[in-house]
Structure formats: structure tokens, C-alpha cells
Amino acid sequence: MCRFLLYKSNSPILLADLLTRPAHSIIMQSTNCKLRMDMGQSNGDGFGIGWFDEPRTKGCIFTSTLPAWSNINLQRLAEKIKSGLVFAHVRATTGGTATSETNCHPWQYGNLMWMHNGNIGGFEAIKRRLQNSLREEIYLWIQGTTDSEHAFALFLNMLDDPLHRTEFSHRELRQAMLRTIEQINVWLDEAGIADTSLMNFAVTDGQSVVCTRYITSSEREGASLFYSSGSEFRSEEESGQYRMVKANKREDVVVVASEPLTYERSDWMVIPTNTLLVITPRLNVRLYPILDQYWNPHRGRQKHLQACC
Amino acid sequence: MLSPAPQLRQALHQTLSVGPDHGAVLALAQTRDLLIAGTQRGDILAWSRTTFRRTHAALGAHSAGCLSLALDAERHVLFSGGGDGRVRAWDARTLAPLYTVHAGENAGGVLALAYFGAMDALALGCQNASVQWFDVGRRRAMVGGELAERRSRFFDGRAADSGAASPDPSGPAYVVDERCIAAYAHTGYVYCALAGQLADGRAALFTAGGDGAVRVWAVTDDGQPPQQLHVLVRPAGAGTNDADSDSDDDDDDSCVHALALGADGLLFAGLQNGAICVWDLETMQCIRTLAPASGAAPSVFALLAAGGLLYAGGADGQVRVWTTTDLQPAGHLASVDAENRDPVLALAGGGGSGSSSAGDGEVVVGGGGDVGVWAVGWRDSHVPQQLDLPTTPGQQQQQQVDATAAPQDMLRTLGRWVQLRSVAGVPELQPECRRAALFLRDLLLQHGAADARLLAGAAGANPLVYARFDATSGGARGAAFAPGTPTVLVYGHYDVMPAGDSALWASPAFAMRGRDGHVYGRGVSDDKGPVLAMLLAVADLHVRGRLALPVVFCIEGEEERGSLGLQAAVETHRALFGAPRVVLLSSAYWLGERTPCLTYGMRGSIRATVRVAAPERSADVHAGVWGGAVSEPLACLSHVLARLVAPGGRVLVPGFYDAVRTVGAAETRAMRRLVRWITDKEAEAPLVARTAAASPQPERRKATRARLHDQLMRRWRFPTLTVHHVDVSTGAAPSNATLVPAAAQASLSVRVVPDQSLADIAAGLRAHIEHVFAECCAGGVDEALRLELDVQPVAQWWLADPAAPVYRLAAQAIREAWALDGSDGNAATEPESEDESNPDSDDETGTGTGTGSTPLLIREGGSIPAVPWLEAFFAPHAVAVNLPMGQSSDNAHLANERISIENLIRGRDVVYRLLDGIADVVDTQNP
């Protein structure tokens, strides 16, 4: 169970404004997260940040097995690096995988970058099958042992020539994402796995972002995921509190995070469970329900159903 | 023959300050009376559509941005949608909060609202891609706990929630029923929701948003949520600039930020990529894509279709305009401030008639900075344009004379008049002065004057404008007055002060601009605005057949230069004026900002120049060579000047104060009441604020009052002498401090008060200066000095009796026009307060000044030569009444001269009411 954060904007942001400074920054979430389903509070098994500087060029990734809160290099880099597209991840290992740099999110392949919050229940039962399905170059690329990296490999396998292409339409990424989830579900079913899987995936080609909040259950809520959009994410001069400024109708900034970065309630919206969120190159936010066997619009709590009309 | 394309006529009518505390304006709405804005910080601001003043303090409506507004015009309900996921309902007249509606869970912001009057229902466009339907008419109280279930583990689990959740507004709360939510109605934020109808007349909801799709929904009044009918499809690549644009609609990446519905079944969608798609709702087909002719197209954030025009507000701060009939570009609203590139985020208004000819509409533009109110319409370019004149008499007939009448016509006319730079005494501006006179003459004729013409002034000076409105109910009519025919004379002036330092003006002095309920420009307050208001009041009475006496106008063009030629012209044309019973003018200011005043006295003035010259040498000489051997003109002049006024301000001319009327006890009491009123009720007025700040003990109101009392007495009640400037004849540079000048001169003025005689004071001044000069010369060096003294009486003091019937009528007119509650303005009937234990009788001396009641009776320290002269010339019946229209902060004669629109409207109403009742207070019989 991990926490992740992604940011896309027309204007680069200093990483510190996302990672270290806000009241509930990803660093805070690494030591004191609030919404983990297992009620754990620390995500100290390494971290990773990935960022892009120019469109159509590869991003850069910095990972470490140290806890994010104790890595002084992260603090230093965050005060200097600016980017308009950032992935950040703090890890709590699952499934007994090693705490190693190869197992730290995010991963990248060509221009594509990927991270995952959650776990694929009973992944060992389908791991061999998944690997067998991969094209050779993708299979050989895998370095770590996690379900997350394997899910990325499966996603890459859904795309034509993912290594050499610099851009993908967001529709293509969205469809590959849906097919990845669909394929994992098929194998899990075939393997008779009853464990619940949490598949909060995020992928980007440096321009579009596709992410999911997904659970293989039609009753339970998925691992938490929030989003916020507006014209600028910055701290207010008087209070120092970070706010999503909404100065016009256009969305110039979109942030997606496992937990809100601030305590400004109206700045953060829940991504409904089993929903796919797209941030288009022009920063339009799209929300698509994932209409499979686990889709349930009335998921969650008992509703009042008195007549309204 | 092709008729030329119609031209858009547009003018920025008024700029309204929003202020940095509120952030950008995200939504706009108009009721009949109010202009309402929703802001980034979640506030609702409201202005009067008539006076453009803020009518309410900012309402904190939402905790995270007021994103949308909708109006139920019939039931007078205003709905606001917020970033906090709430809709709040307000009384659209009083802005009192009514109730709150919570959108469905996790809706995010309510980005769009559409109200359906027939169903009394509200459609919400939400950030989570849902469209929600709230049946206003059948709303039911919220079940307890409905919102409690929405507790967030993250936000509400926190022990010390730092107030991130906005406090629940008071009043009933409702929640959108879950079955009335179309989740994923779009796949993007639902930025637009529009209530309209289909070609067959069925009511329909149009929504659009971040997914670029436009959806059409059937709405019914059976309480059911809308049902989707159509998805409007854009042709492949419509209006996209991307070469690589994918034709799959699902992959389109150009969101729709705005929708508008034309009167003729056309739906317009403004796109992120700057294009505007046009659908025919009959065929549901996209028939056109409008795009700017050239250049990169800025995103379209706001659309408004009204009066045959489509307005598109863009990210670049421009509002582009198309015709909705033939979809042709019709220009854009010219941004006054070229540097203002805040995006246009909201448009409202329209109004105007549907016809494309004379339809005058109002378009309100909001965005990052101020709110602009534009007057728009068509100009038929093939109609010859002579003097672009205001309303015709025919139109005038339809106007209602009440304070709420739209002021646009008056302001538009004033704006044109202000453009004419009628500064008297500047040779190159003489033609403009003449044009300003002709403009006024034509205006008078258009408003029903039986006669209007220019009267020659002094040689080389500007003409006077004369006009006559015949009586319509009893008084004399016709081209010539029998001697002694009772009339009303309206006096004013069309000349203005020079603009002065243009750097001090926030906007060009001779281009009238409106801001926050005022219009700014040279002459708006002194005296073109008040003259126009008087003219329109007379015209209204004339059209309604309510003029009991003929009204003659005498509007001169040399007032700021001492009314050069006025007397001769009036004397020459005496027969044109009849026998005025009242000389009406509006050339004075309120004492403060809020309390209407009535001016009944002014000081007189005398101008003098004193020149001391050494006649035996025509040039300056070197002080080192000649100093001590020549007489010193400047030193002599300084001696003379030093003997005019003592350091404390007391005038040293013998006998100067002898004739000054004694200040009576009643007058002092009345003055105290006036001072008390003004310090209590007008603390922010410049006069009071300055006095209070200068007071040694600013916390003590009593000290402020004492100072103010003293100031006003000195300004109104006592004479004074001022040395304006001192000059030397030296031809050398001012920095040459080695010369003895050959001559020196000073200009002075004296302000005189009742009962000083102008002639006596002038003679006394002359004698005193000659005496002092002689003293200085006695025992001087050989070379004689010569004194050249010019003393000119300019204006007699003027004092009316505020207890006279016409003043009582004027006070009544002011109270009615300003809706003041009211006891009589006369001092005697005002109840005594506090320490005034001794109520005084009528102030028989006529010097009793203001009262504690309204309007305040005030005097002015300045002089208007024409007033006492006209009164005297048309004696014995004529009484002058000076009705101040402007506020004390109007900056007459200074940079940024302005007048409040409300003051103009009500000022016009005061004149209307005064003249409407004039027959009751003056002798209308020809003696």
C-alpha cells in the first residue's frame, strides 16, 4: 500500500511545492498517511519521483530505498527542479517483494512512465502467465519483482512499439489501460483468485495522463484517490497555506493524489471508485466509468431513497 | 446597389471596480434593477443598474468561488453555484439568503446553472461530469443525516479541522435527489448549462463541457430529471487548428466553455481552441464554424446572444461580435485599456430590441479585472450623420420622469458634449467652443424649444446660447414676450476649465468615462452635466404639458473668465427674457457626499493688479553695479503687499470690515446645527475628514466641530483678501539672482460679503494701496517709482432669503427627489437638540445659515458674477436659486472632475419637481 501523486500543468511547478511544503505533502503522506485501507501510516520502503521537462522527450526518474522523509537528496532536488508533469510515489512493500531500487515506482519505458498504488491479490498465481504473454523486448526489460512493474509491462504489451514512439493519443492510452485491467481480471478469475485487487494505476507519455481508481469488488471502495484542478496551485501569501487558485474557467493545473495535499476541503474531489481519469494535453479532465463486472453506481453506503419528485 | 454593412455602435458606458479582495469575476447576471457578479473568492457583488453604485455589501456566498448564477425572474430568486458544491438561493431584490441546495456527493464545483421557469427547476452542471436536476417547486426538506453520510475520513476525521469546511449557511437546506443525477452525463467538467427550447417549442436543456460534447436534454414538468435527446456532433476537425487532429470525437481535445442560444433557433458553442460552432436546432446539424479572421484564436470563455448579436469573450480579454442573423463579423468591443489582457470570463445583458436598427442594448463584461458595462447598438452607416444628436422629441415622450429612468440617454449626450473642448480664452479652441454652443442649441431645439439661437458675446469672446420653451399650461406663448411677462430663467455655462496637467487625469479629460457610479471628464460637473439635467427636466415638463411659465435659457460661454460679455448681451436682448421670477442655476456643490444641499449665498469678488515700475529705466540693472543707487520696485511692492493682510489673515485696509453684517445668535445656532450634522453624518466627506485629521486632538469630535465651524464662517461669512502671485519684469533667467528688476507686479483678489459695497471696498483698497505706496516712496532714492493700479469689481455678493416660498419649494423638491424624510428645511421648524435649549424664531435677517434638517442650507465662498447681476437686472421680482447637484468630491476645476450618475438623475428630478410647482410660489401674473 503506497501513496502517489501526479501533477500536470501548463506552467512548471517547483517540486518542493508538491512534495515537501504543503500541509499534507507526499512526504507527510509517507510518514503519516490517513487513508490507507490497512490503516498503516508509514510508507517508508523507498520512494521515487519522475518528471518531464519537454514534451516528446523522456522523463527523468530518481528513486531511493530510503524512506522519503530521510532522504536529504530529495529535499535538495525538490528545491531546485521545476516541471510541468510530475509523478511521485512513496512505497510500502506488499506481497513480500524486496525493498530495492528496481522495485521503486515509477518506471519508464520509452516516453511512458507508470506507477501504481495498490496490489494485485494473488499475483503470484498469474505472474508466469503474464510474463508469457509479453513480447520479448518487454519481457526482457523487466528488472524488478513487483506486481506493479508487471502490470506496466502488460500495459506496454497492449501498445504498438511503445519504446520508440514519443506520443500517444489519450484515447489509445485509455484503451490500453482498460485492456490491461480487463486482462488481469480475466487471468485472476481463471486462476480462481478470491483476493481483492486494488489497481490505482497512473501512466503518462509526457503529455496525456491516464489514471484509475479501481478495485475488483462491486461493494467496497477502492484505494483512496483525489483530484484537484484550477489555475494555479500555490501558497497563499498571508497564511502560507496551499490552495488551488481558480482564477478563470480554464484548468491550467491538475493534481491527482492518493490523499489531498492540503486540508482545503473544497479544493479536493474524490475520484469515484472504478473510474478512469484522463488529463488531456490541453488539460481537460475526463472522467470515465469503468463499466465491467465490478461497476456499481450505488456502491458504498445505504442511500436514502425517498421520493424527491 | 449594395447597402453598406451595418456598423456596431458601442461605447464603454461604465467601469465598475471589483477590488482585489474578491478575485476575478466568474459569473454575471442582471435583474431589472441589479447587476450581479459572482467572484473567485466566493462573493456576490451587486450594483444598481441605474446609478452603478454598489447596492449591497459583498455577500460571502460560497467558500470556494461563486462559479455560476441563474435567475428566476418571475419569482425574484437568484441562484448561485459554488466551488463548494452548493447552490444558494437569494431574494433577487434584497439579496437576502433563502436556502441552500447541496449537489450530489462528490460533485465538485457547480460550474453551471440553468433555470427553467415553466418547471420551476434548476439544472446543475458539475465538475464530476454529472448533470443534476433540482426541482425547486417540489423541494423537500432534507432528511437529517443525509449530509452526515458524506463525512470524509480525510477532512472530517481530523480532530482540529482548520475550518476547511465552510460553515453551514443559515436557512433551510436541501439536497439534490440521487435519482435526479445523471452521473457521467459528460466525460468532462460540465462547464455550461443552458435553458432553452427546441425548434418545436419543447423546453430543452443544453449542456457542454470539458469533453467537447454538446448534449441536448428533454425537460418536462412532471418532476422527472432530463432525458438525453441528442449529442450534437461537430464536423471532423471543426475549428481545430491541429494538423494532427483526430477525427474521432472521443479523442477531440477542445472543451466547450460557453453556450448561447440565438433567437432564431441557432445554438452557439465557444471552444477552447477559439472557434465558435453553430448548430441549427431544427436539423441538429452544425452549419458553421466562426473563427477570428486571422491570428491564433484565443479560447472562448463566455458567450452572449442578444439583440441580434453574438458576443464572444476570449482569453485575450477581447469581446468579438457577430451578427446572429447572417453570422457575419461585426467588430469587437474596443478595450479601453490596451494593457488589460485579463480574460473575459462572463457576459450578461443584452436588452435592446430585437430589431437590428435602433436596438440599444447593454452588455456587461466581466473577467479578471473590472466589470465593464457597454452600451451597444447599430449605426446605420448610410444614414447621414450630422451632429450625432440624442433622443428625438418623439422618444422623449415615452420616457418616464422618475429617478429610476435609465440614465443612458442623458449620459450619452453628456459624453458627446464633454468631447467638445470648450475652454474659453484659448484661441485655438474657439471653434470648439462654438461647436459646443451649437450642440447645445440643437439639443434645445430637439427637445422642444420654440426658439434657440446663439447670442453674440463680447468681441472675440464666445457666444451665449439662448432658448425659449413656451408655457404649456397657462403662461405666455409665442415669439415675443409682452413687457413684464413672467418667466423662469435658467442660467449656466458651457465653457469649462482647461484640463490642466493631463498626467493627473486617470482617463482623458475630454473623453467621458464612467466608473463606479460616476462619470469623469472636464465639465461633467461644472457645468455641462447640471445644465443638461436642467434642460431635460424642462423638456420633460414641456412634453407633458406642465410648463406653467415660459422657460428661457441663458447658457454662457465665458463664465470661467468672469462672464465676459454676458451683461451686454442680456441687456441687448432684454426682450427675449421676459421678466424672470426665478433665476435657476446649478453651479455649486454639496458640503459633503451624501446630504443634498441648497445654496442661498455666495461671496462677491474684486480683482486687482498692483504694478510698481521704475519708469526711468526700461531694463533690469546689475545689482552689484547699481544696487543702492536705484529704487527697488519689488521691494516697494513687497511693502505694499505686507500692509494689505496681517499674518493672521486680517485685512488691513481701513474700514474693510465696517459693513460686514453682524453674526446673530440665530445664525450661530443654525451654523452649529449644520456643523453637527455634517460631522455626524458625513465623517468621510473630504471637508470633515481633513478637518478632523488636522484637529490637534483628532479623537475629540468637539474640537473638530469647532474648527469646522470656524472654517465655514471664514469661507462663507467673512471677507478675505488673497495675493495670487507676484511677478517681476526681469527678462533674465529666474536663476539670475544678480539683477534689480525694472518692475514688479502682483495680482490680488478680495472676496466680499453682505453688506459690503463693492464700490466702497474697491475704492478703499485703491486708496489704501496708494497711501502705502506713497509712504514707501517718501524718503527713497532719487529715482521715482510709479504705481499702476487696476481694481475691477467682478461680482457682487449674493444672498437669497432661504425662507422665501421658492426656496421652500426647492427644499421640498429636493426632499421628494431624494426620498428624504422630511421636516421643513427652515431653521425655525427644526426641533432643537441637545444644548440648543433656546429655539429661535425665524431668522429675519436672512443670514440664518443651514439647519439640522435636509436639504442643508449652505453658502459658498466663491462667486458667480451672473447671479447677483441677473437678479439685480431683472429686479424686483427675480429670485436666484442655486441647486447644487454635485458632491464635494467632484473635483471641479481639478483633475479627474466627476459627477455621480445618481446625482445627475436626482438633480434632474429636483428641477422637474421645482418647476412643476413653480406657479404656486411665484406671481405668474403680468403686473
Q: Is residue B1 part of a domain?
A: no
Per-residue pLDDT reduced to its tens digit, B426-459: 999 999 999 999 999 999 999 999 999 999 999 9
- As a whole-number percent, the residues of chain A with pLDDT over 90 amount to 64
Q: Do A171 and B251 touch (CB under 8 A)?
A: yes
* Cβ neighbour number for residue A165 with a 10 Å cutoff: 15
Query: Measured between CA atoms, how close is B843 to chain A, in angstroms?
Result: 60
Domain co-membership, B468 together with B353: no
Which residues of B are less than 8 Å from A245 in CB distance? 40
**B159-173, B410-424, B676-690: range with highest mean pLDDT:** B410-424
| A225, closest residue in chain B (CA to CA) | B154
Q: What is the mean pLDDT of residues B857-862?
A: 91
Q: Is the pLDDT of residue B383 over 60?
A: no
Give the CA dihedral B472, B478, B484, B485, nearest 10 degrees: 0
More confident residue, B884 or B235: B884
Residue B828 has pLDDT above 80, yes or no: no
Cα separation, B121 vs B138, whole angstroms: 9
Q: Tell which wins on pLDDT, A309 or B568.
A: B568
Query: Is residue B270 very low, low, confident or very high in pLDDT (cuts 50, 70, 90)?
Result: very high
Q: Which residues contact B724 (CB under 8 A, 6 or more apart)?
A: B746, B747, B748, B749
Among B378, B405, B433, the domain boundary falls at B378
- Number of C-beta neighbours around residue B394 at 10 A: 8
- The yes-or-no answer on residue A2 being catalytic is yes
Whether residue B456 sits in one domain with residue B573: yes
Inter-residue contact B75 to B118 (CB < 8 Å): no
Highest mean pLDDT among A167-171, B122-126, B667-671, B679-683: B122-126
Cell digits of residue A136: 520479448
**pLDDT surpassing 80 at residue A44:** no
Q: Which amino acid is at A195?
A: D
pLDDT of residue A264: 84
Cell of B886: 454635485
ipTM for the assembly: 0.90
Task: Provide the CATH number for the domain around residue B630.
Answer: 3.30.70.360
- Cα Rg of chain B, angstroms: 34
Q: Do B85 and A246 touch (CB under 8 A)?
A: no
Name the average pLDDT for chain B. 84
Cα distance between residue B252 and residue B245, in whole Å: 7
Residues B775 and B885 in one domain: no
Q: What is the percentage of chain B residues whose pLDDT exceeds 70?
A: 84
Q: Distance (Å, rounded) from C-alpha B400 to C-alpha B396?
A: 9
Q: Are B686 and B693 in contact (CB under 8 A)?
A: no
> Same domain for B371 and B405?
no
CA angle A254, A259, A265 (to 5 degrees): 75
Structure-block grid coordinates of residue B866: 451672473
The mean pLDDT of chain A is 89
A264: nearest CA in chain B? B164
Mean pLDDT of B182-193: 93
Tell me the range of B314-323, B608-617, B882-891 where mean pLDDT is highest: B882-891
Tell me the C-alpha to C-alpha distance, in Å, between residue B558 and each of B60, B390, B576, B794, B892: 52, 25, 20, 13, 16
| Closest CA in chain A for residue B254 | A282
Residues sharing a CB contact under 8 Å with residue B746, sequence separation 6 or more, in sequence order: B609, B610, B637, B640, B641, B723, B724, B725, B726, B727
Residue B833 lies in a domain: no
**Partners of residue A231 in chain B, C-beta under 8 Å:** none
Q: Which domain holds residue B168?
A: 10-378
What pLDDT, on the 0 to 100 scale, is given for residue B335?
62
- Whether B636 is covered by a domain: the verdict is yes
CATH number at residue B400: 3.40.630.10
User: What residues of chain A lie within 8 A of the CB of B24, using their CB?
Assistant: 247-248
| pLDDT at res. B681 | 87
Could you tell me if residue B387 is inside a domain? no
Is pLDDT at B698 greater than 90 in this prediction? no
Lowest mean pLDDT among B201-210, B346-355, B913-922: B346-355
Identify residues of A whose CB sits under 8 angstroms from chain B CBs. 34-35, 169-171, 224, 226, 229, 245-251, 259-260, 263-270, 272, 280-282, 284-289, 297, 301, 303-306, 308-309
Asked whether the predicted pLDDT for residue B843 surpasses 50, the reply is no
> Nearest C-alpha of chain B: how many angstroms from A93?
23
H-type helices in A36-193, by residue range? 72-78, 124-133, 136-141, 147-157, 170-190
B294/B356 same-domain check? yes
pLDDT band at B1 (very low <50, low <70, confident <90, very high): very low
Residue B405 and residue B373 share a domain: no
**Most confidently predicted of B364-368, B409-413, B526-530:** B526-530
Question: Considering A2, A33, A104, A211, which one is annotated as catalytic?
Answer: A2
DSSP state, B683? T
Q: Are residues B295 and B405 in the same domain?
A: no
Nearest CA to B197 among B270, B112, B266, B269? B266
Query: What residues of A are in contact with residue B140 (Cβ under 8 Å)?
Result: 306, 308
**Mutation site for A-interface testing, chosen from B255, B303, B344, B345 by largest number of A Cβ within 10 Å:** B255
Please check whether residue B424 is in contact with residue B533, taking contact to mean a CB–CB distance below 8 angstroms.
Answer: no
Residue-level pLDDT at B926: 66
- Helices then strands, counting H and E runs in chain A, come out as 7, 15
- Kindly state the percentage of chain B with pLDDT values over 90: 55
Give domain status of residue B808, yes or no: no
The predicted model gives A76-83 an average pLDDT of 93
pLDDT band at residue B132, thresholds of 50, 70 and 90? very high
Q: Picking from A56-70, B61-75, B87-101, which range would have the lowest pLDDT averaged per residue?
A: A56-70
* Strand (E) or helix (H) holding B109: none
| pLDDT exceeds cutoff 60 at B643 | yes
Lowest-pLDDT range of B11-15, B212-216, B497-501, B800-804 = B11-15
Give the model's confidence band at A192: pLDDT under 50 very low, under 70 low, under 90 confident, else very high. very high
CA nearest to B136 within chain A: A309
Per-residue pLDDT, averaged over A79-104, amounts to 86
Same structural domain for residues B781 and B887?
A: no
Which pLDDT band, with edges at 50, 70 and 90, does B149 fall under?
low
pLDDT band at B662 (very low <50, low <70, confident <90, very high): very high
Q: Give the CATH number, domain containing residue B290.
A: 2.130.10.10
d(CA A242, CA A17): 8
Query: Cβ separation of B106 and A270 shorter than 8 Å?
Result: yes
Question: pLDDT class for B7, splitting at 50, 70, 90?
Answer: low
- Looking at the structure, do residues B36 and B180 belong to the same domain, yes or no? yes
Mean local confidence (pLDDT), B590-618: 91
Nearest residue on chain A to B146, judged by CA atoms? A304
Q: How far apart are CA A278 and CA A285, in angstroms?
A: 6
B802, part of any domain: no
* B403 lies in the same domain as B355: no
Helix (H) or strand (E) holding B280: strand B276-280
Per-residue pLDDT tens digits for A229-282: 998 898 887 777 888 888 877 889 999 999 998 888 888 999 999 999 999 999
pLDDT score for B918: 93
The set of cell numbers assigned to A307 is 421520493
Say what the pLDDT of residue B102 is: 92
Q: Would you call B106 and A266 a contact, using CB atoms and an 8 Å cutoff?
A: no
**pLDDT attached to residue A226:** 95
Query: What does the alpha-carbon distance between residue A157 and residue A134 come to, in Å, rounded to a whole number?
Result: 6
Cell digits of residue B780: 527713497
Q: How far apart are CA B137 and CA B527, in angstroms?
A: 53
Could A269 and B161 be called an inter-chain contact, meaning their C-beta atoms sit closer than 8 Å? no
**Final residue in a domain of this structure, among B776, B794, B812:** B794
Any domain includes B927: no
Q: Note whether B371 and B468 are same-domain residues.
A: no
Interchain contact, A305 vs B345, CB within 8 Å: no
Cα B469 from Cα B452, distance rounded (Å)? 9
Q: How many CB atoms lie within 10 A of CB B616?
A: 13
Across the interface, do A264 and B161 touch by the CB < 8 Å criterion?
no
Q: How many helices (H) and strands (E) does chain B have?
A: 14, 47
Residues of chain A neighbouring B26 (CB-CB closer than 8 A): 246, 248-249
The per-residue pLDDT for range B240-255, each reduced to its tens digit, is 434 333 434 455 678 9
Contact yes or no for B184 and A304 at CB 8 A: no
Domain membership flag for residue B857:
no
**Span B114-131, average pLDDT:** 94
Same domain, B474 and B343: no
pLDDT tens digits, residue range B364-381?
Answer: 888 877 899 888 876 554
Separation between Cα atoms, residue B58 and residue B66, nearest integer Å: 12
- Residue at a domain's end among B761, B794, B827: B794
Q: What is the DSSP string of B799-865?
A: E--TTSHHHHHHHHHHHHHTT-----SSGGGSPP-TT--S-----TTS-----SSSSEEEEESS--T
Over residues B867-887, the mean pLDDT reads 93
Mean pLDDT over residues B839-856, rounded? 48
Separation CA B502–CA B812 (nearest Å): 41
| DSSP category for residue A15 | T
How many domains are contained in chain B? 3
Dump pLDDT digits (tens) for B327-342.
888 888 876 455 667 8
